[in-house]
Amino acid sequence: MMAASRRVGFVGLGLMGAPMAANVARAGFPLTVFNRSPHKAAPLKDMGAHVAMSPMEVAERSDVVITMLTDADAVGAVLAGDDGMLAAAGEGRISLDMSTISPEQSLALERLVEEHGWRRLEAPVYGSTGPAREGTLGILVGGDAGVLATCRSLLETMGSRIFHMGPMGAGAVAKLAFNLLVASQFNGLAEAMSLAVKGGVDARAAGEVFLATAVASDLLKRKVGAIVDEDYTPAFPLKHLHKDLGLMLQAGHALGVSLPATAAIHETYTGARSRGLGDLDSIAVYRHLAELAGEGAGR
């Protein structure tokens, strides 16, 4: 059990990282934060966190350093780039990486940190910005059970369900498998809505029908409203789901698992991202499909 006196670092204060770090601070852990774009650290400073000038400074002041970054390249950069975490003197720290990356990338990062005397735990999350704020994320851990035991009370400040999926890589692949279900629901809703609207049905009426049926999930309930209101404020940016779809295909290729529908959805998301929709919410894939169907701005 990690006492709240254990020093925690947090690198990556984006849509997810900022509210997660705030929950760590509220729980009383001594916290040092860093974000590449410094202005995002201001609210954490107001909560009493120390704002570091570099990832190296975060590591120097921490026993465990959480990373919540876009992708594996970003995690590699904050670990091994200029003034990176691994440049900090001393050994025995834990790199607690909560970013969504592939199992192969996670294993490569484990080798990298172990060369510097660190240990690694992968802990990607499900749930979006709402659960991140509420501290109710689901956390899919891969790695050593002893390291997880050390980090459990810290993880409990951010999530309400913590699953130990197995060794390093198991948490990463479980997260990708879950996101495959998310992507197929988003894509299915967007295609269904495009068909109905182009066929002359009002989006709100179509949405009411979808949500009255057995296919209605909590996810669809939220996203039907976003389509009807044309509100694509990002909770889970489209560019990140596009990245994850690519990681699913990579993992499938590496494991010899055929994912034909995922490949098709990846192509759709490539098109949506190329047309400038990457910073909108993932359900903006509807806008892309609706425009291809000649439905104007998405209706």
Question: Total residues contacting ligand NAP (rule CB under 6 A)?
Answer: 26
45 in active site: no
3-state secondary structure of 137: strand
Question: By C-beta, is 99 or 194 nearer to ligand NAP?
Answer: 99
84 lies in the site for ligand NAP, by CB under 6 A: no
Please pick, from the candidates 235, 249, 251, 285, the single residue that binds ligand NAP as defined by CB under 6 A.
235
CB of residue 1 vs ligand NAP: minimum separation in angstroms? 26
**Binding map of ligand NAP across residues 241-260, x = CB under 6 A, - = no contact:** ---x----------------
* Structure-token pair, residue 273: 């991202």
Alpha helices in the chain (DSSP H): 17-26, 42-46, 55-60, 72-80, 103-115, 129-134, 145-155, 170-198, 203-212, 218-229, 238-255, 260-272, 285-292
Q: Among 175, 223, 239, 243, which one carries the catalytic annotation?
A: 175
Q: Of 33-41, 102-110, 141-149, 161-169, which segment contacts ligand NAP by CB under 6 A? A: 33-41
Which residues have CB under 8 Å from 14's CB, separation 6+? 35, 40, 68, 69, 70
Please state, in angstroms and as integers, the Cα–Cα distance from residue 201 to each residue in 194, 213, 223, following that order.
10, 17, 18
Region of 296 (left: φ > 0; alpha: ψ -120 to 50; beta: rest) is: left
Please pick, from the candidates 27, 51, 77, 228, the single residue that binds ligand NAP as defined by CB under 6 A.
77
Instruction: Report the distance separating Cα 129 and Cα 144, nearest Å.
Output: 28
Q: Which residue's CB comes closest to ligand NAP?
A: 14
**Binding map of ligand NAP across residues 36-65, x = CB under 6 A, - = no contact:** xx--x-------------------------
3-state secondary structure of 66: strand
Q: Which amino acid is located at 152 in the chain?
A: R
100 lies in the site for ligand NAP, by CB under 6 A: yes
3-state secondary structure of 94: strand
Q: Of 35-43, 111-119, 182-190, 217-225, which segment contacts ligand NAP by CB under 6 A? A: 35-43
* Structure-token pair, residue 58: 């975060």
**Binding map of ligand NAP across residues 158-197, x = CB under 6 A, - = no contact:** ----------------------------------------
Residues making contact with ligand NAP (CB under 6 A): 12-17, 35-37, 40, 68-70, 74, 77-78, 99-100, 125, 128-129, 235-237, 240, 244
